[in-house]
Amino acid sequence: MIETINLTKKYGDFTALDNLNLAINQGDCFGFIGPNGAGKTTTIKILATLLKPSSGQAMIDGLTVGYQNRQIRPIIGYVPDFMGAYTDMVVVEYLEFFAACYSIHGKKRKQVVQDVLDLTDLNYKATAEVNSLSRGMQQRLSVARVLLHDPKVLLMDEPASGLDPRARVEMRELLKELKRMGKTIVISSHILPELAEMCNTVGIIERGQLLFSGGVAEAVKRAKMGQVVQVAVTGRHQQAAELLSKLPGVTRVQINEGQGPQMGGVTLPLIQVNFDGMAPGSSGTGPAANGAARQDLSDIPNILINNGFRLAQFTEEAVNLETAFMRLTKGLVQ
């Protein structure tokens, strides 16, 4: 449904987007992740036909952005991070105005407006002035606006930005419903746990370059190639650290004083062990497969106990989309 080929956007000597290659299938909910200034908004604006790329190609439903914009615009809906103008209208007038812009007239227009009010749960605000709405309500109205012409593709730039917790939950449920309706959704956000819940695919971008594109599970699996475990023993902490440092795949062992569990009124040191994916018992020289690495990590308590140590704590760092983002990016900005 959406494809970019070496998509590049430059402003003079500054490269905002650097040879971006994306493929998003019909019905996907694609989460676009990256720090501020990474190129997310630039990408979405190009797809929304609001910016011209410097080079490369972007296509939506087989149509080329920049050459077939008139055919593209009826099949897309663009939700910016902030709503924009026309705040002196009431909600129903606002929606009827944009429905008329899409050449929806008469009884059909009234029905379409009513349908999007129902879908976005804005019925009870139909006669309220737009400028009286909360930030969350305005974002829902923005979504209602782009649904008037029933687009195939929704391009959403930080739709949950600045929303309170309740409004974020409501926005998340609305997006889930749109996904169930078969819409292809591209959504950028900094709220990574919510993206993991909504999206089946993600792209991680930094300094205009795509670092990863694929399924959420695949991103998490890749992040787990550098797993971390926390260990505490009741005594001989230095010797335990030396033993762990000799295990295959260990890249770093660090003793953090006073961060472990309490025992006999004393806070034990916590030993942090970093693996590169080759865990104890693995063979070969490359990173272990994710499933094997997890099984091997679980052998660490036995290794310590068999060497005479009493284990007080063993925890494996949880890996989620947020962890994947932190490990796959370097924190660089443009």
Domain membership flag for residue 329? no
Domain final position from 174, 202, 220: 220
pLDDT by position in tens, the chain (length 334): 999 999 999 999 999 999 999 999 999 999 998 888 889 999 999 999 999 999 999 999 999 999 999 999 999 999 988 877 677 899 999 999 999 999 999 999 999 999 999 999 999 999 999 989 888 888 889 999 999 999 999 999 988 777 777 878 888 888 888 889 999 999 987 767 777 778 889 888 888 999 888 887 777 666 655 677 888 888 888 988 888 888 887 888 888 887 778 777 788 888 888 777 533 343 333 333 444 344 467 788 888 888 888 888 888 776 666 666 666 666 544 4
pTM of the model: 0.72
Domain count within the chain: 2
User: What's the rounded Cα separation, in Å, for the pair 268 and 287?
Assistant: 32
- Give yes or no: residues 25 and 144 share one domain: yes
- Give yes or no: residues 216 and 232 share one domain: no
Domain membership flag for residue 324? no
Report the CATH number that the domain containing residue 245 is assigned in CATH: 3.30.70
Give every CB contact of residue 221 below 8 A, 6+ residues apart in sequence: 290
**What is the Cβ-side half-sphere exposure of residue 163, based on CA atoms within 13 angstroms?**
24
- Give yes or no: residues 249 and 214 share one domain: no
- Give yes or no: residues 161 and 268 share one domain: no
- Give yes or no: residues 55 and 192 share one domain: yes
- Give yes or no: residues 254 and 200 share one domain: no
Full domain range(s) for residue 6: 2-220
Query: Exposed (0-12), middle (13-18) or buried (19+): which is 270, by Cβ within 10 Å?
Result: buried
Report the CATH number that the domain containing residue 179 is assigned in CATH: 3.40.50.300
